[in-house]
C-alpha cells in the first residue's frame, strides 16, 4: 500500500523547507519576467519578438482558420511573409509545427486583436489548468505551488499551450478509473501535441483500458476527418508535404537557440556538439531505458501516485522533442508527491530540481561540455522507479491517483 501515515517532525521540516524554496524560486522567476517586460519596448520584447513570442503562431493560425484556406501557409516562405506582414519586415523566423486539427479549437482567437487574444489565452489556460490540477483541493500551499511553478511563467512568456496540454493529460490520467471514456476523449485531444503522447497507448494497453483506447482512437479519427471537412483535405497534404520537412530540418539541422529550451537527451547531446550518430544513440539508450521502466511500472499494480509521476516523467525522457514550457504538468506531479510521509531529503531535492528546471534549461544547456537539463528528469524518474522497487510499496488495485 502507498504510505499515508502522518509525517514525522523531521519529515515535516523537510516538506516545509521544500515549499519555502519552491515559493521563493517561483516568485524570483515571475519577478524576473515582469522586470524584463517593464524594460522592453512594448509590444515587442528586447530582442524583437512580439510579447507572447510563440503566440503569434496561434493567433495567425486562428486568422487563417477563419479564412477557410490555411493550407498554402504551411509552406515556409509563405508563412514567413505572413509573419512579416503582421509583425514587421524584420520579424524573427517562426515555423508552423502543429497538426492542422489545432485550428478547430483556436479559430476564435482570430476574432480579436493580438494582445486581447494573448491575454485571454493565458488567463483561460491558467484557470483551466488550476481547476484540473488542483482536483478540487483548497490547500493554499498546493495552489501556490501550482500558480508559481516556473513552468507557468515560462509558458506565459512563450505564449504556448502548456496549460491546455497539462489539463488534458492530468484530466485523462485522473479519469482513467472514474470515467474511462472521458479519459480517452481527453487523450485523443492531446493529439495536438503528439510527441508527448507516445507512451499513452502503451500504458493503456498494459493496464487493459479498452474503453479508453477506443474513445481515444475515435476522438482522433473524428478530429482528423473534421479538419479535412472544414479546411479541405489539402490541409493535411500541405502539412505533411511542407510543414513536417521544415520541422525535421530544424530538429536535425544546425544547432539553434530553441534547442536550449529542450530538456531531452538528444538536444543536450546536440548542444554539446556531439556527432549526429552519437546524439541519436544517446537518445535511443535513454528511450529504451524509459520504455523498460514504464513496462515494469505497469506490469503489476504499484503505488498509484509514484506510478503516474514516473509516467509523466517518462513522457519527457522518451522523446527527443519536448520543451520546457510543456512541463507545466509537473506542478501537478509535485503537489501529489510533496505531502507523502515516505519522502526523504533526496526526494525533495529532486522535486525542487524538476520544479525549477523549466526556468533553468537555457542556463544548463549553456554549461558547455555537458548540458545537464535532461539529467534532472532522468534522475527524477530513476528515483521514482527505485522508490517503487523497494519492498512493501505494492499498491492495491482499488487505489486511485
In this prediction, residue 2 carries a pLDDT of 45
C-alpha torsion 42→45→48→50, nearest 10: -70
Alpha-carbon span 276 to 320, nearest angstrom:
13
Residues of the chain with pLDDT under 70: 1-8, 365-370, 391-401
Preceding amide of 43 cis, omega within 30: yes
- All three cell numbers of 306: 509514484
Which residues are 342's β-sheet partners? none
Where helices occur in 232-303 by DSSP H, the ranges are: 234-238, 244-252, 265-271, 276-299
In this prediction, residue 362 carries a pLDDT of 79
In this prediction, residue 399 carries a pLDDT of 39
In this prediction, residue 130 carries a pLDDT of 96
Q: What is the DSSP string of 4-49?
A: -SPPPHHHHHHHHHHHHHHHHHHHHHHHHHHHHHHTS-TTB-TTSP
In this prediction, residue 396 carries a pLDDT of 37
- Vertex 294, ends 163 and 198: CA angle to 5°? 50
Residue 346 DSSP label: H
CB atoms within 10 A of CB 306: 24
Alpha-carbon span 53 to 250, nearest angstrom:
18
* Cβ-Cβ contacts under 8 Å for 18 (sequence gap 6 or more): 338, 348, 351, 352
Alpha-carbon span 308 to 45, nearest angstrom:
38
Alpha-carbon span 356 to 351, nearest angstrom:
9
Alpha-carbon span 282 to 264, nearest angstrom:
10
- All three cell numbers of 319: 522523446
Dihedral sign for Cα atoms in the order 220, 221, 222, 223: positive
124: left (phi over 0), alpha (psi -120 to 50) or beta: alpha
52: left (phi over 0), alpha (psi -120 to 50) or beta: left
Where helices occur in 88-209 by DSSP H, the ranges are: 103-106, 114-134, 140-148, 150-158, 162-174, 180-189, 200-206
Is pTM beyond 0.75 here? yes
Alpha-carbon span 283 to 291, nearest angstrom:
12
CB atoms within 10 A of CB 354: 24
In this prediction, residue 395 carries a pLDDT of 44
Which residues are 50's β-sheet partners? 44
Alpha-carbon span 231 to 106, nearest angstrom:
14
Q: For residue 50, give the 3-state DSSP assignment.
A: strand
Could you tell me if 304 and 134 are in contact, meaning their C-beta atoms sit under 8 angstroms apart? no
pLDDT tens figures, 129-145: 999 999 877 789 999 99
Amino acid at each position: 500500500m502507498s504510505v499515508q501515515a502522518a509525517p514525522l517532525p523531521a519529515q515535516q521540516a523537510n516538506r516545509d523547507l521544500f515549499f519555502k524554496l519552491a515559493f521563493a524560486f517561483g516568485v524570483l522567476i515571475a519577478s524576473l519576467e515582469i522586470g524584463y517586460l517593464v524594460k522592453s519596448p512594448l509590444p515587442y520584447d528586447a530582442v524583437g519578438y512580439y510579447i507572447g513570442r510563440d503566440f503569434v503562431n496561434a493567433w495567425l493560425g486562428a486568422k487563417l482558420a477563419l479564412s477557410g484556406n490555411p493550407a498554402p501557409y504551411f509552406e515556409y516562405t509563405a508563412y514567413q511573409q505572413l509573419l512579416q506582414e503582421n509583425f514587421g519586415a524584420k520579424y524573427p523566423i517562426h515555423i508552423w509545427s502543429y497538426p492542422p486539427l489545432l485550428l478547430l479549437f483556436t479559430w476564435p482567437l482570430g476574432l480579436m486583436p493580438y494582445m486581447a487574444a494573448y491575454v485571454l489565452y493565458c488567463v483561460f489556460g491558467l484557470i483551466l489548468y488550476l481547476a484540473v490540477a488542483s482536483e478540487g483541493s483548497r490547500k493554499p500551499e498546493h495552489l501556490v505551488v501550482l500558480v508559481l511553478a516556473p513552468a507557468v511563467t515560462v509558458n506565459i512568456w512563450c505564449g504556448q499551450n502548456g496549460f491546455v496540454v497539462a489539463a488534458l493529460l492530468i484530466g485523462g490520467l485522473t479519469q482513467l478509473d472514474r470515467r474511462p471514456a472521458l479519459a480517452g476523449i481527453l487523450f485523443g485531444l492531446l493529439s495536438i501535441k503528439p510527441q508527448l503522447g507516445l507512451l499513452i497507448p502503451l500504458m493503456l494497453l498494459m493496464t487493459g483500458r479498452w474503453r479508453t483506447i477506443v474513445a481515444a482512437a475515435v476522438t482522433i479519427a473524428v478530429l482528423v476527418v473534421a479538419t479535412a471537412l472544414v479546411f479541405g483535405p489539402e490541409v493535411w497534404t500541405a502539412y505533411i508535404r511542407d510543414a513536417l520537412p521544415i520541422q525535421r530540418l530544424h530538429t536535425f539541422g544546425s544547432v539553434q537557440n530553441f534547442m536550449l529550451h529542450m530538456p531531452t537527451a538528444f538536444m543536450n547531446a546536440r548542444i554539446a556538439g556531439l556527432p549526429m550518430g552519437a546524439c541519436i544513440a544517446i537518445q535511443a539508450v535513454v528511450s529504451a531505458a524509459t520504455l523498460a521502466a514504464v513496462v515494469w511500472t505497469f506490469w503489476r499494480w504499484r503505488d498509484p501516485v509514484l506510478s503516474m509521476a514516473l509516467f509523466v516523467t517518462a513522457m519527457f525522457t522518451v522523446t527527443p522533442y519536448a520543451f520546457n514550457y510543456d512541463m507545466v504538468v509537473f506542478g501537478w506531479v509535485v503537489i501529489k508527491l510533496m505531502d507523502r510521509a515516505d519522502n526523504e531529503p533526496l526526494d525533495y531535492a529532486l522535486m525542487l530540481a524538476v520544479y525549477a528546471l523549466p526556468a533553468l534549461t537555457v542556463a544548463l544547456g549553456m554549461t558547455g561540455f555537458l548540458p545537464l537539463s535532461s539529467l534532472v528528469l532522468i534522475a527524477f524518474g530513476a528515483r521514482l522507479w527505485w522508490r517503487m522497487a523497494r519492498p512493501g510499496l505494492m499498491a492495491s488495485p482499488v487505489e486511485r491517483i
